[in-house]
Amino acid sequence: MDAQQLSQVESLCETLYASGVSTENGKPISRAEAQSRLLSLQSSADFIPQCQYILDHSSSHYARLVASNALTELITTHWNNFTIPQRIDIRNYILGYLANQGPGLQTFVVTSLIKLVCRITKLGWFDDASHRELADDVTKFLQATVDHCILGLKILNQLVDELNIPTSGRTLTQHRKTSVSFRDVCLFKVFQLGLTTLKQLQSRAISADPRQEAILGEQSLSLTVRCLSFDFIGTNPDESTEDVGTIQAPSSWRTVLQDPQTMDLLFDFYAKTEPPRSSKAMEAIILLCSILMFNSTFAFLLDKERAAFLGKVMLGIRELLSNQTGLQHMDNYHQFCRLLGRLKANYQLSELVKADGYLEWLDLASSFTVQSIRNWQYSTNSIHYLLALWGRLVAAVPYVRPDTGAQGHVQALEKQVLTVVESYIDNMVGSAEMVLTSDGALDDPLEDDGSLKEQLDRLPVICRFQYGPVGNKILSKFDPLLSQYQEMLNLVGSSSTANAPADIAQRISITEGQLTWLTYMVGTIVGGHSWSSAHMGDGEEAIDASLSRRVLQLAQMVDYRLTSTNGVGRSDSKLEQALLYYFQHFRRVYMFMWDQVSNDGGVSNAVSVVGLMVAKLDSASSSKQKVYQRMFEHMGMGDHTQVANQIVTKMGNNLKYWPEENDIVAKTLDLLLDMAGGYSSSKLLLTLDTVKFFAHHHTEDHFSFLAVPANSRHRTTFHAILTRLQLSPTGEEKLGLSFQQFLEPIVNTFNQLENLSANELRNEAARRPLIGIFRDLRGIASSLHNRKTYCMLFDILQPRYLSILAKVADVWHDQIDVIVSLLRFLHEFCHNKANRVNFDQSSPNGILLFRATSDVVCAFGSRLLATPAPPNGDTEIYKRRYKNMSLCLNVLNSSLGGNYVCFGVFALYNDPALDKALDVGLKMIMTVTLEDVLAYPKLSKSYYGFVEIIFRNHIKTVLALENNVLMQLMTAVHEGLQASDSSLSSLCANSIDHFATYYFENNGKEKVEIHNLNKHLNSQPNLFPSLTATLFNLLLFGSPQNHWAVVKPMLSLMLASETSFTSYKEHLISTQTMENQQLLNDAFTKLLADVQRSLNSANRDRFTQKLTAFRVAARSFLTL
């Protein structure tokens, strides 16, 4: 590279990064073209000298960034191309460059260069000792100027990250081997360097200005956190969670971690700095505490040492709580809440109560929690950590003797827990009024689903610890609010809340918000009821009953207003969702024993004679039944059947009067689906009058949500639920109607449609009925799980109504909503899940089903093919064309792969149904560009699924295609084989395997198909060699995720074309050094040893194992 070329590179960089203008021959160069040209630097290892030239001579920061990124990519991709001395030279060059130029470079350039150094260090970790001594080399940076010290800390931070996170293209085994070695050799030294820098900052041993001091502190603390959160034992922790989890530090770290000065240092840094340094210090404290608790290597610590460390932590926490140090900053506050939440998880309660100052700590923690709850508008995302602390403390009380540790610790905990819970109830209920009177200035915590769920999940354990007082507290809030609500509803009458006077409307909204909070609380508390023998005698079911009575009374009030005003008097939608939340939790706890306590259950009081164990089980079961019955007696709302009917009636009215509220409809149907899916609750549903009404009147006239176009998916769920109940063992008897009667509304709609002409059927008046019946039928078909029930639906639809489907596909082909509903139903109907599509041996139904499917596919497909394709670049092309095409292919795939049709019959009797369907399917996929196939995931799966099926079961049709069509298919398969999605590459690999297997097993035979295949191969002699090369390149150089996808066709391809394999082998060997040639030749020899010319399963499995070993061996030395 010379100065002129360097200038061109800098100009391209300005165009790419700074929107500058660069020209060539007077023509401007676009950003995309500039990016393409600059990326060419990453295409070959030959560009490494050019990248070094750019770094040495360019004054453009963007050019340096491009060169650094290119070097990183080249080193990673072509690692085996470099000798060990060359790797060390590149590493030393970059380190020297950073030492000389680093302080004056832009941050993004420094970051890229550091990443390069650390990548080289990781990849070459076992090559030479110099790579493992990087920490020692960086020490020179730390001992130089302040700016160099900052650089050194950045290098160490990136080094820990690089060695902790797997690199793309390397196996997990290789990563863990390097990571473990780094942990044992270097990590502790890096950790000590971070702590040493912190100590120097604390003692003012480093002369730096405030800005530099802040950066040094942040980098040192980040390094400490990274070291402590290192994946010590290869668990690959989930980075999306804030929970610390298990941390296993080596025992050699014990001295430093246990040293009180380490904890003092971090607490001191927290107290004396501002975020982000202070919050990083708190994060380090959390990790330090977690290590000392969880690590088994510290299990030998003496109780005195462990207690001393705990005392140190609690002392630091007490001081922070007393002084409120740094807690005015949100980052600090959040991290401190995490520390409190983790403390009980890190230590047993028996240890905490023995610690000095435990009672004081408990009192301070309670005050801090109450203060946080009072300021809920600032701490919504942190409150659940504090609730987790109290939940863990409470859960451990049964396992600690009252006389252990501080005197009266149980009573103190009871007092503080009650204080916390009462504060939570008061402030959350009070938040409703604050939000509504803030004129939008405050966010409603009820609308933050994530934080709300986190808090509610932690309430049951805490509230049940002092359930009597807590229950009374909730009742003292609930009863007055219910009375006020009833009074206000009486004032409003049949009007909606929006039409009421402004002051009354506001009072109603505030009261509904407060009742919403109480309903959520009761729901989660009742859902926390335990059926263990230890808790069944506590009488908690009486408190559950009192709380549930209030919620059910509220539900009655809301429902009465809703029904009496014909849907005009709606409550707040959030209150409706809270009631559904309560119903869901009530169902889980109190609707699973219905069959055991009902008269139909036949509960016997006779004592079993099997033995004492069975007698005990009977006794436990009897105790549960008594608790269950006492619950409903205390509730006073009727027996379990009456309560369940009230709940289901409320759900039915939700579906009737909230048709446009998607969340309410969806959650109502989810609850109904869960109830229908439970063994006991489903039997209970069948006895309810409301459910019988559902089954007899599942139409738009009675349930208006069915008439809303946006609820079309919910129609499917609704009918799936009803069908599951209808087809249960006692469904017909309990519901009082047969399956045929259940389908009458759909059959009646079909009867109205079947006599319409094409023009009449295309009328807009037919759109909604068509979409409705197809959505309904899809839900019904999805609940058919065996041969008997499937045949019941099939006998109703065939032959009279299935023929309508092709007519609809023809006249509505251009309307997405109609075609989508039709094709999704047909896809479900043709899907042979659980072998349900299994007709008698003499039955023609399988053939008739495929004929009907073929008619629909051909009707829609021919119309689609006749429609001009949208222009290139049309952003709506998927919605307009590819979505329906994908669904059509899915229908065809289900039919062709269902194993319920003997396809040979069609050719035998000259039935064109199969040939037409295959022809339309092939024509459709031929119209899709390869770029679009790979751009749309759903389309690509249906596309390659169809290709795989025709290669598997209809190879004769494939081989009869014209050469250009088959080669287009093979090109698509070739590209799909290299897709990042392993499911696609697997489908393509299977297609190749079917193709090669057929050739190997039939070559030389006098068959028309073989003659056709030989013609194709003669016109494209490079087909087998290119496939062989691609498969082996993916095996040797591709990502590990695609390893198992590509190995399957290798044996069949090698046997089908041995010359292709030999050519690839010779070519690959020729690209290697003399030393590697011998190694590679030995690896191929081992691969082919004992391989038979057979494609039986045993030989395939043996060869697959050999391929895996070959891959591991070859990747250790191969160069690109």
User: pLDDT at position 613, please?
Assistant: 43
Of residues 187 and 1038, the one with the higher pLDDT is 187
Which residues 6+ apart lie within 8 Å of 569 measured at CB?
Answer: 489, 492, 494, 495, 496, 497, 561, 562
Which residues pair with residue 24 across a beta bridge?
A: 27
Helical ranges in 658-743 per DSSP H: 662-677, 679-685, 689-696, 712-726, 731-735, 739-742
Question: Cis link prior to 870 (omega < 30° from 0)?
Answer: no
Question: Cis link prior to 745 (omega < 30° from 0)?
Answer: no
- Which amino acid is present at 1076? N
The answer to whether the beta carbons of residues 256 and 262 sit under 8 Å apart is: yes
What size, in residues, is the chain?
A: 1120
User: pLDDT at position 26, please?
Assistant: 67
| Terminal-to-terminal C-alpha distance of the chain | 24
Ranking 6-20, 359-373, 438-452, 850-864 by mean pLDDT, the lowest is: 6-20
Segment 12-31 mean pLDDT: 79
Per the structure block, which two tokens stand in for 1108?
Answer: 């895996």
Which residues 6+ apart lie within 8 Å of 112 measured at CB?
Answer: 65, 68, 69, 72
Per the structure block, which two tokens stand in for 161?
Answer: 């990250």
- Angle of CA points 938, 942, 948, to nearest 5°: 140
- Which amino acid is present at 885? M
Ranking 243-252, 442-451, 556-565 by mean pLDDT, the lowest is: 243-252
- Angle of CA points 678, 679, 683, to nearest 5°: 105
- What band does 706 get if pLDDT is binned at 50, 70 and 90? very high
Residue 345 above 80 pLDDT?
Answer: no
Q: How far is CA 389 from its chain centroid? A: 27
H/E stretch holding 54 reads: helix 48-57
Of all residues in the chain, the percent with pLDDT exceeding 70 is 94
Which residues 6+ apart lie within 8 Å of 976 measured at CB?
Answer: 933, 934, 940, 944, 984, 985, 987, 988
Phi, psi of 23 (to 5 degrees): -130, 160
Phi, psi of 27 (to 5 degrees): -105, 135
Segment 427-434 mean pLDDT: 95
For residue 28, give the 3-state DSSP assignment: strand
Ranking 331-345, 814-828, 903-917, 920-934 by mean pLDDT, the lowest is: 331-345
Segment 939-958 mean pLDDT: 96
- Count Cα atoms within 13 angstroms, Cβ side, for 262: 22
For residue 431, give the 3-state DSSP assignment: helix
| Signed CA dihedral, 1038, 1039, 1040, 1044: sign only | negative
- What band does 761 get if pLDDT is binned at 50, 70 and 90? very high
Q: Name the residue among 109, 99, 115, 94 with its Cα closest to residue 59.
A: 109
The answer to whether the beta carbons of residues 827 and 891 sit under 8 Å apart is: yes
The answer to whether the beta carbons of residues 543 and 467 sit under 8 Å apart is: yes
C-alpha distances (whole Å) from 1102 to each of 505, 609, 1092, 1095, 1108 are: 76, 56, 10, 11, 10
Q: Tell me the three-class secondary structure of 434-480, residue by residue.
A: HHHCCCCCCCCHHHCHHHHHHHHHHHHHHHHHCHHHHHHHHHHHHHH
Per the structure block, which two tokens stand in for 11?
Answer: 């100009």
Q: Name the residue among 428, 484, 482 with its Cα closest to residue 456.
A: 428
How far is the C-alpha of 542 from the C-alpha of 548, rounded, in Å? Answer: 10
Of residues 1090 and 690, the one with the higher pLDDT is 690
Q: Strand 27-28 relative to strand 23-24: parallel, antiparallel, unpaired?
A: antiparallel
Segment 875-881 mean pLDDT: 90
DSSP state of 362: H
Q: How far is CA 1112 from its chain centroid? A: 31
CA gyration radius, the chain: 36
Per the structure block, which two tokens stand in for 480?
Answer: 């007055």
Which residues 6+ apart lie within 8 Å of 1043 measured at CB?
Answer: 1035, 1108, 1111
How far is the C-alpha of 135 from the C-alpha of 128, rounded, in Å? Answer: 14
Q: In the predicted model, what is the mean pLDDT of the chain?
A: 89
User: pLDDT at position 25, please?
Assistant: 66
Any idea which residue has 């200035």 for tokens?
441
Q: How far is CA 686 from its chain centroid? A: 35
Ranking 561-570, 718-727, 886-895, 976-985 by mean pLDDT, the lowest is: 976-985
Residue 1061 above 60 pLDDT?
Answer: yes
Any idea which residue has 């009803």 for tokens?
722
Q: How far is CA 980 from its chain centroid? A: 18
Of residues 391 and 254, the one with the higher pLDDT is 391
Q: Name the residue among 573, 564, 578 with its Cα closest to residue 522.
A: 578
Rounded to the nearest 10 degrees, what angle do helices 188-202 and 210-228 cross at?
A: 150
- What band does 470 get if pLDDT is binned at 50, 70 and 90? very high
DSSP state letters, 89-133: HHHHHHHHHHHHHGGGS-HHHHHHHHHHHHHHHHHTTTT-TTGGG
How far is the C-alpha of 245 from the C-alpha of 290, rounded, in Å? Answer: 8
How far is the C-alpha of 387 from the C-alpha of 427, rounded, in Å? Answer: 14
How far is the C-alpha of 477 from the C-alpha of 481, rounded, in Å? Answer: 7
- Beta-carbon count within 10 A of 398 CB: 8
- Beta-carbon count within 10 A of 288 CB: 23
Segment 782-791 mean pLDDT: 95
Tell me the per-residue pLDDT of 42-51, one tens digit each, with 9 for 90 and over.
888 888 889 9
Any idea which residue has 């699973």 for tokens?
592
Ranking 386-390, 471-475, 606-610, 944-948 by mean pLDDT, the lowest is: 606-610
DSSP state letters, 1103-1120: HHHHHHHHHHHHHTT---
Which residues pair with residue 23 across a beta bridge?
A: 28
User: pLDDT at position 1072, please?
Assistant: 84
Any idea which residue has 């939700």 for tokens?
654
Residue 1033 above 70 pLDDT?
Answer: yes
Phi, psi of 266 (to 5 degrees): -70, -40
User: pLDDT at position 914, please?
Assistant: 96
Query: pTM for this structure?
Result: 0.86
Q: How far is CA 1074 from its chain centroid? A: 48
The answer to whether the beta carbons of residues 585 and 546 sit under 8 Å apart is: no
How far is the C-alpha of 246 from the C-alpha of 242, rounded, in Å? Answer: 12
Which residues 6+ apart lie within 8 Å of 243 measured at CB?
Answer: none
Which residues pair with residue 27 across a beta bridge?
A: 24
Q: Which of 14-23, 138-147, 308-317, 771-780 has the highest mean pLDDT?
A: 771-780
Tell me the per-residue pLDDT of 293-313, one tens digit each, with 9 for 90 and over.
444 445 444 567 778 888 888
